[in-house]
A = this chain, B = another copy of it.
Amino acid sequence: MSQSPWQPISPAKPVRERKAPLTRERIVDAAMEVLRKEGYDGVSMRKVAQELKTGPASLYAHVANKRELDQLLVERANAQMVFDEPVDPTRWQEQLKALMREMLRAMRANPGVARAAIGAVPLGERALQTTERMLTLLKAGNLPDQAAAWAVDLIPLYVTAVAFEETVQSASDWTPQDVEEFVNGLRTFLAEQPADRFPLVVALAGPLTSGASGDERFEFGITVITAGLAALADRT
């Protein structure tokens, strides 16, 4: 019986799970995994390497340094934003708010990415799409070019700051009860200040400590920013 032609010449050699070669793609995958599991501070070159069953030095063949890895994480989060509603110039304010909500959603879905995003200028394909959409909405609102351009800076800065603040707070592994207790303590602390020196702080201790969840505060923020931008529109 002759050997079947598809038999390997040296059958003894086991498949030996030759590790899939490292690629940027796989490195970012692993980093996202660590990010989700341990937050931004958990993402070290060593941990990412460990996730890939190799040593930290191996990563440097594909990624210049930690900062570049951070940038790649931001691009991943950017790619997760979905803006499917066609631009409707008559609803530019509402659509701009929706865009900011979607930005926050994507950041929250990847806790820690906000920290990486804060100093970064996002220039990937998806980031440019988001920028183009922002500009379209702002020009629909009759903003002058320079105002629209600076708004493109202001909007992600605000959203990123909110997301980053949330991750800083949640990094201190507090339970919801801990947070509630902290907020209650805070309210009491403010209410007990000397009313002659801090009358409004005392009077508004309640409102000052409400909406801790963040959603209401964020809605307030995007409303203020949108209204402020609308006030800059060219009246023609």
Contacts and interface: CB of A to CB of B under 8 A. Distances in A.
Interface of A: 67, 118-119, 121, 123, 128-129, 131-132, 135-136, 139, 145-154, 157-158, 160-162, 164-165, 168-169, 172, 186, 189, 193, 197-201, 204, 207-208, 210-211, 216-217, 220-221, 223-232
Given A132-B201, A189-B123, A201-B131, A217 B153 contact: yes
A117 to B, nearest CB: 10
A67 B189 CA distance: 21
Contact of A227 (B128, B149, B216, B228): B228
Contacts of A216: 150
Contact of A135 (B153, B200, B210): B200
B210 A149 contact: yes
A226 B227 contact: no
9 smallest beta-carbon distances between A and B, as pairs:
A119-B168, A228-B228, A149-B207, A224-B228, A161-B161, A135-B200, A227-B231, A227-B228, A150-B220
Contacts of A162: 157
A107 to B, nearest CB: 14
A129 B198 CA distance: 7
B168 A161 contact: no
A36 B4 CA distance: 75
A113 to B, nearest CB: 15
Given A158-B161, A168-B118, A220-B154, A145 B204 contact: yes
Contacts of A204: 135, 145, 148-149
B207 A145 contact: yes
A88 to B, nearest CB: 16
Contacts of A193: 128
